Structures are given as structure tokens and as C-alpha cells.
């Protein structure tokens, strides 16, 4: 019976004309539309914005889930300006970061001539806020929690009905289920008790169903809260994961010169230092590149981002400090995962529980990168617990585009051989890299194999004639499930890091289980010359997000068999 149910649109639906009519019939519609045009200089509302601003003006609690860049700010800034004009009310916006706050205030002032303020100092008092001249004031949750002065000011304003609404931006920070829970956000639950008549608007770009419900409970939003959520599918994006091999830097240079010629882009890196050195590398290759990370001075950061925005540089090499959202790494390698895990574990400021959460998140991204059987969109949307039909991808991701056939391969014997050679290597104190293991198992006597004495190890030549890609895939998969471990040692002379592989903590158990459960993994053998791969009927377990090489599941398969396409997907 509540209006909220009619406003929910989880999956993209054709424009509901009935709904549009109803919204434009709202008594608030004219002033909202006029302010949109005249103050914000925008032509029309984006998806869910009109729904949000009308609900705000109606004095309802509102929950907005919208992808980054979707236009969440307007959902509260527009009502703020209108409520100020109509009722002299101020809108109180809680944001987690001071830097974010300053940016928003500057923008509102310079671009739209809106008298916004940041409540970071004591120069703001009841007099200013009650005069109706300040439509929006930004405040950190810490300030609300700790400043008695701020709280008593708010109480006085509330008593005179001069608070339009509380806005909780980045609302996922209140939930311990989310990735970036913040202590001070937890106390925002008191707002409802302290100011029961003031509506609350919560906005976020990152929340699955559990987190959404948690946010709504924590903030004590009313039962008839207007929930506005929308699909996270971005039809205008296409996704491709490319494995990082040696020489990948030059591959990127090539791609920038050919496939991405006349385009601009962002390359995300994990470490600040890498951003700088990689940008330099690209410049040396004649590509206009800049870098961006949180360790830079604010002015330099702004300059870097302006240079990119205005086309003076083509590529910006950045950490996730640049923009936010579901920017999955656009290249990847196993080393990255190991290094990320290290980085998380070494961080002394983080408690164990958050470490585990962060590692789980890193694993999820890694699994995403390695999964070559499930549509990328489907995987991304699965993260947001949003169902997605692969057909809708229209071959705009590398998985759906792949012309090679995906087959389920019984790799039990290969796995056994890998474990055999590695356990002997351990006893001999030989450090084998992935390439050496593959070569030795295939019976090669190349220099590397001979140098390491791998030709003398048990297991040598056990996988003669087996595709090197398949052995490599098996090793990677075993690393992923921690049957194997990667170690990295720095060469004292060259400074280079050498990687070698050893048995991991679960190797013994795994070996025992192999007797009952074959080790099956999905892969795409390269077709022989002239032979075109078929596609469509052989997508292995496409509806299991965990299928494919990403997580070779041990199944009771007998021998090599083709995956059955699930026509219902």
C-alpha cells in the first residue's frame, strides 16, 4: 500500500508512463524542474532523480542506491535549494571525508552560485543557519558526534522546523557488513531519536541487499521509506580481462596506440610508486600520460585530473584514489593477488576482522579476473545480488565474445604430477618457478630444467604431450585454492624478484581427496589452425558464477567431457 513499492525498479524497465505522469503531477514538480534548469543548468532528470527529489519534498525518508556517477548529489542538492527558498530550511549533509566536503562546497559555490558551507569550523552559528541563507551545510559524522555545540545548534533549528532533512552520503559506511565501516557513522542512528521530525535521506553506490537492510535499520528509517534502487548494469561499458604476462607493458603501449587510439583512459595500479613509474614509462614511449594518487599534494592532484579531463594527457595512471566505484582492475596477474594479500596482512592499523574481509574482497576480484566462463556483466552484477541474463550482454565482454569452446577437463593426473614434482623438489631444496615445473612435467630438458636439476625429480616427464596452457592453468588453480603457494625472493645482485612455487597448507588433504573427487577445470584450448571454435552450446556451467578456471570445482566427472550449455540461462 505504500508509495515506495511503486517506485522500486531493480532491473531496467521501459519508461513507465503512468509513473511519470504521476510524478509530474506533484505540486512540487514545477519548482523542481525550474530549479533544475535555472540553478543547476541541467535539461532533464536522470533515472530516479525526479522520484528522489519529489519524495524529499514530500518529507519522506528516502534510500537511494545509484552507481557512482549516476547523479546522487542532485537528489539532495536540488531539494535543499527548494526547501531553502520555500521554507528557509537548511539541509544537513553528512559525508565521510573532509576533502570530499571541500570539493562539493567549492563546486556548489562556483558552478551554481549556491551558498553552501562546510561545518568544519566554529564560524558557523545558529544565526547563520536560521537565517535561511544557507541551503546546504556539509558536516562530518565525527563533528555531529563530538561537538555539543553543533548538536545544540541543531536542536534549536529543529525546534523551529528549520532543518529540511538529514542527508547521509556514502551511507554504506554505517554498516559493519560493508567494506568501509566507520565508527562515527554508527552514531548517526541517534539522529532519528534526537530529531524525530526531520526526514533522513541515505545515499550509496555500494550496497548489497544485506547492507541495504542494515543501513535502513541502523538509521531507523520509517517503514514507508521510499527505496530507489536501479540496475548496476552499464550497457555503455564493455569488459575485457587480459592476463598479465611478461611484456604486458608493451602490450599496453600497443593497445593505446591502436585499439584505443583517439581515446582517453585510466590505468589503475595498486601502488603509488607504480603509478609514477608506469606513467613515466608511457611518456618515454611517446604517450601523453600523467599520474594520480593520494600521496600527491592537493594542487598537483587537481592539476593531474584537470589535464586528463581537458585532454592534455591521454592516459592517467592512478590508484583507486582517482574516482571510485566498481573499477575492477583492468589487468591482472597472480602476483597481484599475492601482493595485495601481503599488503593487507602487513597493515598494522587494521584489525583481524577487517583484514579477513579485505582479503575476501581481493579474492573475489581475483576470481572475477580468472573466471573465463561466466559473462563479466553477470559476475559484476552478481556481486550486487542482481540477476542478469547473459543474452543482454550482447557480446560486449571478453567471455561472451570468446569464439573458443569452453570444455571441462579432468586435470586430476596433472594435479597429481604437479604435487609429486613439488614434494620432491622440497626435499631436494630446489626452488622451481612455474615455467620450470611446466617444462619438466612435459619432459623438456631445457637449460632452466637442467640447471635446477628438475630432470632428476620424481614426476619429471609425467605430463608428456599435455598442453602447456593446461598445466599452467592447473598450477594457478591449485595456488588459488591454496594447495600451492607462491614465494618471492629478491635477487641480491639484480634486485629482481624471483618467484617459485611450493606446496601449500592444504596440499596433503587435497591429495587424499583426489582419490574420490576428480579435479575438473574449465578451459578453452586454442583451436588448431583453420579450425573455427564453436560457441554457444558448450558454455560450461555458465550459471554457476564459480564455474570455470576461476574455481575449478572438484566434481565426480569421469573423464574429459564437454560442458553442457544451460539453455535456460
Instruction: Give the footprint of ligand ADP on this chain (CB under 6 A).
Output: 42, 45-46, 49, 66, 68-74
Least separation in angstroms between residue 186's CB and Zn ion is 39
The pairing of beta strand 62-65 with beta strand 226-229: parallel
User: Which residues, 349 to 408, sit near Mg ion by CB under 5 A?
Assistant: none
Torsion sign, CA atoms 244, 384, 77, 162 = negative
What is the nearest approach in angstroms of ligand ADP to the Cβ of residue 112?
Answer: 10
Q: How many residues does the chain have?
A: 569
Measure the N-to-C terminal CA separation of the chain; round to a whole number of Å. Answer: 34
Q: Please, what is the minimum distance in Å from the beta carbon of residue 553 to ligand ADP?
A: 37
Residue 72 or 442 with smaller CB distance to ligand ADP: 72
| Greatest distance between any 2 Cα atoms in the chain | 86
Q: Which is nearer to ligand ADP, 70 or 522 (CB)?
A: 70
Scan residues 196-235 and list those touching Mg ion (CB under 5 A): none
Rounded distance, CA 243 to CA 245, Å?
A: 6
If contact means CB under 5 to 8 A according to the sort of partner, which of Mg ion, ligand ADP, Zn ion, none does residue 49 touch? ligand ADP
Q: Mapping DSSP to helix (H, G, I), strand (E, B) and coil, where does residue 28 land? A: coil
Number of residues that bind Mg ion (CB under 5 A): 1
SS3 string of 402-459? CCCCCEEEECHHHHHHHHHHHHHHHHHCCCECHHHHHHHHCCCCCHHHHHHCHHHCCC
- Closest approach, Cβ 394 to Zn ion, in A, equals 8
Nearer to ligand ADP, 173 or 449 (CB): 173
Q: CB-wise, 9 or 107, nearer to Mg ion?
A: 107
In the bound state with Zn ion, the residue whose beta carbon lies nearer, of 317 and 393, is 393
User: Which cell numbers in the block locate residue 42?
Assistant: 541541467
In the DSSP assignment, the letter for residue 170 is T
Cβ proximity to ligand ADP, 310 vs 515, nearer residue: 310
The partner in contact with residue 384, picked from Zn ion, Mg ion, ligand ADP, none with C-beta cut-offs of 5 to 8 angstroms by kind, is none
Task: Considering only residues 72 through 101, tell me which ones interact with Mg ion, judged by CB under 5 A.
Answer: 72
CB contact burial 297-327 (16+ within 10 A = b; e otherwise)? eeeebeebbebbeeeebbbbbbbebbeeebe
Cβ proximity to ligand ADP: between 64 and 520 the closer is 64
**At closest approach, how far in Å is the CB of 393 from Zn ion?**
3
CA 276 – CA 168 distance, rounded (Å): 35
Minimum CB distance to ligand ADP smaller for 205 or for 269: 205
Give which of Mg ion, Zn ion, ligand ADP, none residue 375 binds (C-beta under 5 to 8 Å, depending on kind). Answer: Zn ion
Q: CB 282 → ligand ADP: shortest distance, Å?
A: 27
CB of residue 229 to ligand ADP, shortest distance in Å: 13
Judged by beta carbon distances under 5 to 8 A according to partner kind, the member of Mg ion, Zn ion, ligand ADP, none in contact with residue 141 is none
Cell numbers given for 68: 557512482
Q: Which is nearer to Mg ion, 68 or 426 (CB)?
A: 68
> Which one, 109 or 566, has the nearer CB to ligand ADP?
109
The least CB distance from residue 368 to Zn ion, in Å, is 12
- Beta-bridged to residue 410, according to DSSP, are 520
CA-wise closest residue to 426 among 511, 508, 503? 503
Contact 292, 275 (CB under 8 A): yes
Share in percent of the chain as helix, strand, coil (round to 5): 45, 15, 45
Cell reading at 415: 594435479
Determine the interface stretch with Mg ion among 41-49, 66-74, 395-403, 505-513 (rule: CB under 5 A). 66-74
When CB distances are held under 5 to 8 angstroms depending on the partner's kind, the choice from Mg ion, ligand ADP, Zn ion, none that residue 400 binds is Zn ion
User: CB under 5 to 8 A by kind: which of Zn ion, Mg ion, ligand ADP, none does 184 bind?
Assistant: none
Residue 102 interacting partner from Zn ion, Mg ion, ligand ADP, none (CB closer than 5 to 8 Å by kind): none
CB atoms within 10 A of CB 505: 10
Distance CA 181, CA 166 (A): 19
- The footprint of Zn ion (CB under 5 A) covers 375, 393, 397, 400
Least distance between Mg ion and beta carbon 100 (Å): 8
What does residue 554 show for φ and ψ, rounded to 5 degrees?
-85, 120
* From the list ligand ADP, Mg ion, Zn ion, none, partner contacted by residue 393 (C-beta under 5 to 8 A by kind): Zn ion
Comparing CA positions, the residue from 249, 246, 245, 247 lying closest to residue 267 is 249
- What is the closest distance, in whole angstroms, from the C-beta atom of residue 42 to ligand ADP in the complex? 4
Q: Which residues bind Mg ion (CB under 5 A)?
A: 72
Amino acid at each position: 500500500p505504500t508509495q515506495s513499492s511503486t517506485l522500486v525498479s531493480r532491473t531496467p524497465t521501459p519508461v513507465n508512463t503512468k509513473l511519470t505522469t504521476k510524478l509530474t503531477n506533484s505540486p512540487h514538480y514545477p519548482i523542481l524542474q525550474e530549479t533544475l534548469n535555472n540553478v543547476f543548468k541541467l535539461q532533464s532528470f536522470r533515472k530516479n532523480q525526479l522520484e528522489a527529489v519529489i519524495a524529499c519534498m514530500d518529507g519522506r525518508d528516502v534510500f537511494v542506491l545509484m552507481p557512482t556517477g549516476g547523479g546522487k548529489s542532485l537528489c539532495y542538492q536540488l531539494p535543499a535549494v527548494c526547501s531553502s527558498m520555500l521554507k528557509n530550511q537548511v539541509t544537513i549533509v553528512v559525508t565521510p571525508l573532509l576533502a570530499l566536503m571541500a570539493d562539493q562546497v567549492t563546486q556548489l559555490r562556483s558552478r551554481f552560485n549556491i551558498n553552501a558551507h562546510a561545518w568544519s569550523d566554529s564560524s558557523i552559528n545558529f544565526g547563520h543557519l536560521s537565517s535561511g541563507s544557507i541551503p546546504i551545510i556539509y558536516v562530518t559524522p565525527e563533528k555531529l558526534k563530538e561537538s555539543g555545540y553543533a548538536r545544540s545548534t541543531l536542536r534549536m533549528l529543529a525546534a523551529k522546523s528549520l532543518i529540511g532533512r538529514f542527508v547521509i552520503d556514502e551511507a554504506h559506511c554505517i554498516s559493519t557488513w560493508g567494506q568501509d565501516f566507520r565508527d562515527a557513522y554508527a552514531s548517526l542512528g541517534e539522529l532519528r531519536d534526537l530529531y524525530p521530525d526531520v526526514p533522513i535521506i541515505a545515499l550509496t553506490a555500494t550496497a548489497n541487499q544485506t547492507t541495504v537492510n542494515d543501513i535502513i535499520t541502523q538509521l531507523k528509517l520509517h517503514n514507508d521509506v521510499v527505496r530507489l534502487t536501479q540496475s548496476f548494469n552499464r550497457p555503455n561499458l564493455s569488459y575485457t580481462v587480459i592476463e598479465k604476462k611478461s611484456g604486458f607493458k608493451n602490450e599496453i603501449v600497443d593497445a593505446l596506440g591502436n585499439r584505443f587510439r583517439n581515446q582517453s583512459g585510466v590505468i589503475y595500479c595498486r601502488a603509488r610508486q607504480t603509478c609514477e613509474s608506469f606513467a613515466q614509462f608511457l611518456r618515454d614511449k611517446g604517450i601523453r600520460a600523467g599520474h594520480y594518487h593520494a600521496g600527491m599534494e592537493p594542487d598537483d592532484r587537481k592539476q593531474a585530473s584537470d589535464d586528463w579531463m581537458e585532454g592534455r594527457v591521454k592516459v592517467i595512471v592512478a590508484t583507486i584514489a582517482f574516482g571510485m566505484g566498481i573499477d575492477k582492475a583492468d589487468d591482472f596477474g597472480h602476483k597481484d593477488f599475492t601482493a595485495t594479500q601481503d599488503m593487507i596482512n602487513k597493515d598494522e592499523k587494521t584489525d583481524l576482522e577487517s583484514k579477513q574481509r579485505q582479503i575476501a574482497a581481493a579474492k573475489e576480484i581475483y576470481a572475477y579476473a580468472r573466471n573465463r566462463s561466466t559473462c563479466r556483466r553477470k559476475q559484476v552484477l552478481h556481486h550486487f545480488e542482481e540477476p542478469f541474463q547473459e543474452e543482454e550482454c550482447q557480446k560486449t565482454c571478453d567471455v561472451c565474445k570468446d569464439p573458443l569452446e569452453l570444455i571441462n577437463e579432468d586435470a586430476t593426473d596433472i594435479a597429481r604430477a604437479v604435487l609429486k614434482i613439488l614434494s620432491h623438489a622440497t626435499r631436494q631444496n630446489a626452488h622451481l618457478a612455474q615455467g620450470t615445473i611446466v617444462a619438466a612435467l612435459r619432459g623438456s630438458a631445457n637449460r632452466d630444467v637442467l640447471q635446477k636439476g628438475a630432470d632428476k625429480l620424481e614426476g619429471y616427464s609425467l605430463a608428456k604431450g599435455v598442453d602447456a596452457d593446461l598445466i599452467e592453468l592447473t598450477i594457478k588453480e591449485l595456488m588459488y585454492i591454496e594447495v600451492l603457494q607462491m614465494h618471492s625472493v629478491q635477487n641480491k645482485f639484480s634486485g629482481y624478484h624471483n618467484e617459485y612455487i611450493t606446496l601449500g597448507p592444504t596440499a596433503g588433504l587435497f591429495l587424499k581427496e583426489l582419490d574420490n573427487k576428480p579435479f575438473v577445470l574449465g578451459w578453452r584450448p586454442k583451436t588448431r589452425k583453420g579450425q573455427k571454435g564453436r560457441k554457444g552450446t558448450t558454455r560450461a556451467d555458465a550459471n554457476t558464477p564459480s564455474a570455470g578456471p576461476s574455481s575449478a570445482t572438484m566434481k565426480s566427472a569421469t573423464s574429459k567431457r564437454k560442458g553442457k550449455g544451460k539453455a535456460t540461462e
